[in-house]
Copies of this chain bind each other. A is one copy, B any other.
Amino acid sequence: MEEFKVLEIKQSVFADNDRQADEMRRELKKKKVFLLNLMSSPGSGKTTTLSRTIEALRDEMKIGVMEADIDSDVDAREIEKFGAKVIQLHTGGMCHLDAEMTRQGLEGLDTQDVDLAILENVGNLVCPAEFDTGAVKNAMILSVPEGDDKPLKYPLIFQVCDVVLINKIDVLPYFDFDMEECRKNILIRNPKAKIIPICAKTGEGIEEWADWLRGQVKEWKS
């Protein structure tokens, strides 16, 4: 039906990263450290969500955060205020983290006493999705202003995520965002995805998210 031309541009080949990622998960299991990889677009509210998550869980478990950023440390400064152990990872322009880079981060963080390690990946819906970081679970945030069609346009990240947080639901009245359409679009990509609408700013939905995460950490450490 399309009248415009579709041109397939060649893809580059990535080095094998999956084996390293699997190996890291085995080590994390042995050390009883749960690693969550948190991905999203820039400005979707990763840091605020992370702050809320730390508030909800810090009395029950020791949390360590790796803040990956091109070269600023805005987010690490913010997260530090919430009392989590934090390390800033400068990716030197790199748009994602792979398993080896994540390993460098975990070593820098020192996970000796950490129950839950969270990697705040680079704000990007494309590249981070292509690299298994070795995390036990992948989570992503899609915010209302970004639109309900994003699962159609950035399919891979929705496929690899175990949970999708739909953030900024407080501004639903001001955007053409159809929550049911969005759920449908996510489930087309990933029928097993858990979907949790939240508002990190007001705290709405954070309890459900914290419950899910608490359950995952418990299961991993058992």
Instruction: Confirm or deny: A80 has a beta carbon within 8 angstroms of a beta carbon on chain B.
Output: yes
Closest residue of B by beta carbon distance from A65: B4
Given contacts A9-B104, A70-B126, A170-B174, 4 further A-B contacts (CB under 8 A): A2-B73, A7-B105, A7-B108, A123-B126
Instruction: Confirm or deny: A222 has a beta carbon within 8 angstroms of a beta carbon on chain B.
Output: no
B-contacting 9-mer, from A55-63, A88-96, A208-216:
A88-96
Residues of B within 8 A of A18 (CB): none
Whether A153 pairs with B74 at a CB distance below 8 angstroms is yes
Interface code A198-209, partner B: CB below 8 Å = 1, 0 otherwise? 000000000000
A95-B95, A145-B168 known; A5-B42 Cβ under 8 A: no
Q: How far is the CA of A95 from the CA of B11 in the complex (A)?
A: 10
Whether A86 pairs with B155 at a CB distance below 8 angstroms is no
Closest residue of B by beta carbon distance from A94: B11
Whether A4 pairs with B168 at a CB distance below 8 angstroms is no
Number of copies of this protein chain within its complex: 2
For chain A, give the interface size range: 35 or more
Whether A123 pairs with B87 at a CB distance below 8 angstroms is no
| A12 interface neighbour in B94, B97, B156, Cβ under 8 Å | B94
Which A-B residue pairs are the 6 nearest by beta carbons?
A43-B146, A145-B145, A11-B92, A95-B126, A7-B108, A4-B86
Within 8 A of B (CB), among A37-58: 41-44
Interface code A105-148, partner B: CB below 8 Å = 1, 0 otherwise? 10011000000000000111111001000000000000111110
Could you show 23 A-B contacts with beta carbons less than 8 Å apart? Answer: A2-B77, A2-B88, A4-B86, A4-B88, A5-B88, A5-B108, A5-B109, A6-B90, A7-B89, A9-B104, A9-B105, A11-B92, A12-B94, A42-B146, A69-B153, A70-B154, A71-B155, A95-B126, A95-B127, A124-B126, A145-B146, A170-B174, A171-B174
Q: How far is the CA of A155 from the CA of B126 in the complex (A)?
A: 19
Residues of B within 8 A of A124 (CB): 95, 124-127
Residues of B within 8 A of A3 (CB): 80
Q: How far is the CA of A171 from the CA of B176 in the complex (A)?
A: 12
